[in-house]
Structure 1
C-alpha cells in the first residue's frame, strides 16, 4: 500500500464548530438507559448530534500518514496492516454510518450500543479480538467557569485503535497527534496499546486544568461568604458543588477501569504498557483526591455561609440593642416629665416643673446618661464589627 508523508487538511464540509446560542449545562445528567422492553442493540441518537467524521492516522517508526475517510468500509484494510492505525470518529449523529462502522470492526451490537447511546458509565470490557474502554473527557471552558464533558470510547485491537468522540469541536488529544506527527518520544515505536495509554493519559491529565479553576473559585468563595454573604454567593456555592459531583461521577469509575486494565491479563496489552498504565492510575487517584477535597471544602462553605449570616444578624441585633439601651433611660425621664402633676397641690408633685433652668437641666441629665452608656459600651468593645475580617489579622 502506497504511503504519503504526514499532512493535515480539512474535509470538504467540516462540521460547524460554533456551539448553539443557548446551550444548557446539565452536570448531573443520568447515564443512558433503554426504554423498558427495548430490543438489545437499539441505537438511540439525539437529533442534534453532529454527523461523524472519520479521521485515519496510520504510522510506523519511520513515517506517518493522516487522511479523512469518506466511508467506514475504507477502514477495513487497516485493521490487519503491520502499521498502527488510529481511526478517530468525531461525532455519532448518523445511525447508518455507525452501524456500518460496527460491521467493519466486527463489534457486538451491545458494544455498539454502549458507544452510540451516550452517556455510559466509564468501564472496560475484554472481548475475544478487541478491548472496549468507555471514558469521560472534560475540557475547560475558554472564557467562563465550568467545563465541557463528553464520552470517548476506545476499541483496541491487535493493530488498530478505534476512538469515537461524542463531540467534534474539542478534545485533549492535540499533544498526542503532535507527538505522532513529529515522531517525538517513543509513541511511534510501540503498538496501539501504547497509543491507547497515551490518549487515556491525556484524558486524565485534562482534569487538572479544570480542577485548578475550581481551586481558585473556592478560594474566592471562601472570602465572599465571610465578607459579603448573599443569595448570589449561596447559589454559586451550590453550582460548584453540583459541578464537582459531576467530576466525581466521571473520574471514580474511570479509575476502576484503569485498575482493571492493569490487574486483568490481556493479550492486547503488553507488560511494558501496563507499567505506564500504573502511572495513569496514579494520576486518576490524584484527580479523585483533589475532587473529594474540593467537595469537602465546598460543603464546608455552606456552614461558613450560615455562620456569616448568623454573625451578621447578631451584629444587627447588637446595634439595635445598644440603641434601645441608650434610649430606655431617656424615655423613662421623658415619660416622667410628661405626666400631668400639679406642683401647687403638693411640694412633692414634681417641683422641678417650676425651676427656671429645669428644661436645660433635663437635657443635661439625658445627655449625660446617654454619653455615659455610649462610653461604657465603647470600652466593652461592643461597637467593633464581628462580620468582617481585618486584613492584617488574616495575614497573621
Structure 2
C-alpha cells in the first residue's frame, strides 16, 4: 500500500486543466439508466455525447461512467451538463478528500469506497454530479459496484425510485458506498482475532509485521471515513432545492451507519495499538524467562566449577603436611561426584522453593 497515491498536476498549472495519466487508465464504459414513474430504460452508450438525447426528456437520468475517465470524456460531459471545470479536475486527479461542493444548480460530491481483497486495501474515489433531473456517477473500476441498486430499480412496481427525484438515487448510491466499509471492517476483525491468538501462543516477527500493516490500513481508512461523515452531515442539514426534506430522513440513516463504522474503526485501532504493546511485553517476558534460566544454569555451575578447580590443581607431595590427601583416597573420585550432585540438588531445591523455576 503506497503512502501517497494522489494524482495531481504540476505546481503552477492553471485551475481546471484536464490532463490524463500517462498510462491511459482503464477503458471507459458509459451506461445510462433513464426512469420515470412508469418505466425504466437502460442502455450502453459509445460516447458521452450520446447522453444529449436524454436531457430533453421528462424523466430522471442516471449516467454511470466506469473506468478511468479520460480528459475528452470529461470535457464532453462538462459541456453537455454544464459541469464546473474545478469539479472535473477533481474527478481526474484521484485521491481527493471526500467532500461536497454546492454550485448554482448542481451538487458535486466525492465519496470514498473502501475495497479489501484480504491482502490489499484500495480506496476508490467515486465522483457524483447531481442536477435537477440527472445524476452522473464516475467510478474508476471496470466492474460496476452499483449493480445492486440497478437490480432494485429494475424490479416492477418499485415506487421508491420511480416516483422520487434524483436525490433518492443519490442516497441509494451513497448508502452502498458507506456500507461497503462494513465487510472491510469485518475482515479486519477476523485478522485481529487471529493476531490475538498468535500473540498469546507464538508471537514472532511476522506477527509484528502484520500488526504494523493493519495499523497502517486502519489509519488510511480513518483518513477517508472521517470526512465522509462530515459530507453526510452536510447533506442532512442542507437546504438546497436539489435535496427534498423527505429524503433527508434517509441521509440521516446513512449518517448513522457512518457513525457506527467510525466507532468500529476506532475500536479496531485501539485494539491494534494494545496488541503492539502486548507483543512488546510478551517479547520482554520471553527474554526475561530466558535470562532467568541462563542465570540459574550459571549459578548451579559456579560451585561445581569451584570444586573441580580445586581438585584439578593436583598438588601432591608424600612428605608435605599441606598436600591434598584426597588425591590418594580410594573413593575420592566418586566422593567428589557425590558432593557436586548434592550441591546441585540443594540449589535446585532452593530455587524451586523461591519460585524461580
Scaled by the length of structure 2, the TM-score of the pair is: 0.94
Matched, 1:129 2:102: no
> Matched residue of 1:186: which SS?
helix
Deviation at 1:91, TM superposition (A): 1.6
Matched, 1:283 2:263: no
Does the Cα contact within 8 Å between 2:37 and 2:159 map onto a contact in 1?
no
Matched, 1:297 2:271: yes
User: What are the Cα deviations for residues 223-260 of structure 1, in whole angstroms up to 9, with x where unaligned?
Assistant: 22343222222111111111111111111111111111
**Against the structure 1 CA distance between its residues 236 and 185, is the aligned structure 2 distance closer, same or farther, given a 3 Å change threshold?**
farther
> Which of the numbers 9, 16, 19 marks the counterpart of 1:41?
16
Does the Cα contact within 8 Å between 2:66 and 2:144 map onto a contact in 1?
no
Higher helix proportion (structure 1 or 2) = 2
Matched, 1:272 2:246: yes
Q: Which stretch shifts more, 218-227 or 194-203?
A: 218-227
Does the Cα contact within 8 Å between 1:179 and 1:185 map onto a contact in 2?
no
Hey, what does 2:66 align to over in structure 1? 90
User: What are the Cα deviations for residues 115-163 of structure 1, in whole angstroms up to 9, with x where unaligned?
Assistant: 122121110011111100001112231xx33433211111011111110
Deviation at 1:332, TM superposition (A): 0.9
**Against the structure 1 CA distance between its residues 138 and 170, is the aligned structure 2 distance closer, same or farther, given a 3 Å change threshold?**
farther
**Against the structure 1 CA distance between its residues 310 and 197, is the aligned structure 2 distance closer, same or farther, given a 3 Å change threshold?**
same
Matched, 1:224 2:203: no
User: What are the Cα deviations for residues 331-387 of structure 1, in whole angstroms up to 9, with x where unaligned?
Assistant: 11111111232353444433222211111110011111112222333344433xxxx
Does the Cα contact within 8 Å between 1:262 and 1:278 map onto a contact in 2?
yes
Deviation at 1:312, TM superposition (A): 1.2
Residues of 2 paired with 1:185 and 1:210: CA distance?
31
**Against the structure 1 CA distance between its residues 301 and 48, is the aligned structure 2 distance closer, same or farther, given a 3 Å change threshold?**
farther
**What RMSD over aligned residues (CA atoms) do the two structures have, in Å?**
1.8
> Which of the numbers 320, 325, 330 marks the counterpart of 1:356?
330
Deviation at 1:96, TM superposition (A): 1.3
Q: Which stretch shifts more, 344-353 or 116-125?
A: 344-353
Hey, what does 1:180 align to over in structure 2? 153
Does the Cα contact within 8 Å between 1:31 and 1:121 map onto a contact in 2?
no
User: What are the Cα deviations for residues 43-85 of structure 1, in whole angstroms up to 9, with x where unaligned?
Assistant: 2322241121110111123321111011212212323532221
Hey, what does 1:332 align to over in structure 2? 306
Does the Cα contact within 8 Å between 1:48 and 1:93 map onto a contact in 2?
no
Deviation at 1:203, TM superposition (A): 0.5
> Which of the numbers 148, 159, 167 marks the counterpart of 2:141?
167
Does the Cα contact within 8 Å between 2:114 and 2:181 map onto a contact in 1?
yes
Q: Which stretch shifts more, 59-68 or 116-125?
A: 59-68
- Kindly report which structure 2 residues correspond to 1:65-144, keeping only aligned pairs within 5 A, or say none: 65-141=41-117, 144=118
> Which of the numbers 331, 346, 349 marks the counterpart of 1:372?
346
Hey, what does 1:242 align to over in structure 2? 216
Residues of 1 paired with 2:209 and 2:159: CA distance?
46
User: What are the Cα deviations for residues 66-112 of structure 1, in whole angstroms up to 9, with x where unaligned?
Assistant: 11011212212323532221100112343212211111111111111
Residues of 2 paired with 1:211 and 1:269: CA distance?
30
Does the Cα contact within 8 Å between 1:90 and 1:165 map onto a contact in 2?
yes
Q: Which stretch shifts more, 336-345 or 40-49?
A: 336-345
Does the Cα contact within 8 Å between 1:129 and 1:158 map onto a contact in 2?
yes
Residues of 1 paired with 2:185 and 2:205: CA distance?
24
Question: Which consecutive segments of 4 or more residues in structure 1 shift more than 4 A?
Answer: none
Runs of 5+ in structure 2 lacking a partner?
Answer: none
Hey, what does 2:169 align to over in structure 1? 195
Residues of 2 paired with 1:190 and 1:98: CA distance?
28
Residues of 1 paired with 2:70 and 2:179: CA distance?
30
- Kindly report which structure 2 residues correspond to 1:58-69, keeping only aligned pairs within 5 A, or say none: 58-69=34-45
Residues of 1 paired with 2:27 and 2:333: CA distance?
91
Scaled by the length of structure 1, the TM-score of the pair is: 0.85
Does the Cα contact within 8 Å between 1:251 and 1:288 map onto a contact in 2?
yes
